[in-house]
């Protein structure tokens, strides 16, 4: 088995490795209990092509390239994911992509936008820029869609001078195959 520290380039000394490892472990370990209450069940799992972390001046981990964040049945796909923490507690996860997508199979919801911000403290998923959210075939869209996980409410705002759009199907029609783009 290969040593984890040995996989890093020579310029990444073991002296610099431990603060980096502390940030990653802190974010991973503390994100699960905080997010478990509002986002899903179990730990947050993140995979990506690359990770850059820092402990000072702030606690931050930046994942890039084919990022997939999973917790329970919630799955987020992005080009880049930034996790910000204060005192080892995750404050915000910001995902960007073209577009960022997410699914919640238990709530039969999926959506996309240019940016997705997850706020564990308030239990919000905010889609920003060309934001779309579906529940089965029903769709809403606007400049920003905020989904409140704890009470399953949604707030939508449009661009200045633009209106928000919604399409709702009768109950019998919504039981057919789901529509829209994930």
| Average pLDDT across the chain, whole number | 76
Output the pLDDT for position 177: 52
Average pLDDT over residues 93-98: 95
The pLDDT tens digits for 120-132 are 778 789 999 999 9
Q: Report whether pLDDT(101) > 80.
A: yes
DSSP per-residue string spanning the chain: ---TGGGS-TTS-HHHHHHHHHHHHHHHHHHHHHHHTTT-SS--EEE-SEEEEE-SSSEEEEEEEEEEEEETTEEEEEEEEEEEEETTEEEEEEEEEEEEEEEEGGGTEEEEEEEEEEETTTTEEEEEEEEEEEETTEEEEEEEEEEETTTTEEEEEPPTT---EEE---HHHHTSS--S--
Q: Where are the domains of the chain?
A: 12-174
| Residue 113 · residue 99 · CB < 8 Å | yes
Domain 12-174 annotated CATH 2.60.450.10: yes
Output the pLDDT for position 152: 83
Cα of 85 vs its chain's centroid, Å: 14
Average pLDDT over residues 73-97: 90
Higher-confidence position of 12 and 93: 93
Average pLDDT over residues 61-89: 90
């Amino acid at each position: 088995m290969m040593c984890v520290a040995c996989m890093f380039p020579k310029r990444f000394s073991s002296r610099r490795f431990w603060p980096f490892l502390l940030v990653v472990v802190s974010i991973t370990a503390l994100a699960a209990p905080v997010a478990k209450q509002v986002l899903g069940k179990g730990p947050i799992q993140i995979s990506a092509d690359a990770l850059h972390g820092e402990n000072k001046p702030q606690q931050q981990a930046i994942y890039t390239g084919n990022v997939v964040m999973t917790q329970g049945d919630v799955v987020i796909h992005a080009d880049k994911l930034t996790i910000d923490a204060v005192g080892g507690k995750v404050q915000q996860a910001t995902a960007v992509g073209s577009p960022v997508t997410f699914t919640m199979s238990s709530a039969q919801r999926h959506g996309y936008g240019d940016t997705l911000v997850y706020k564990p403290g308030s239990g919000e998923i905010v889609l920003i820029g060309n934001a779309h959210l579906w529940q089965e075939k029903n769709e809403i869209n606007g400049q920003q869609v905020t989904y409140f996980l704890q009470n399953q409410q949604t707030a939508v705002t449009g661009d200045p001078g633009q209106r928000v759009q919604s399409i709702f199907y009768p109950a019998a029609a919504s039981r057919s195959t789901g529509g829209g783009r994930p």
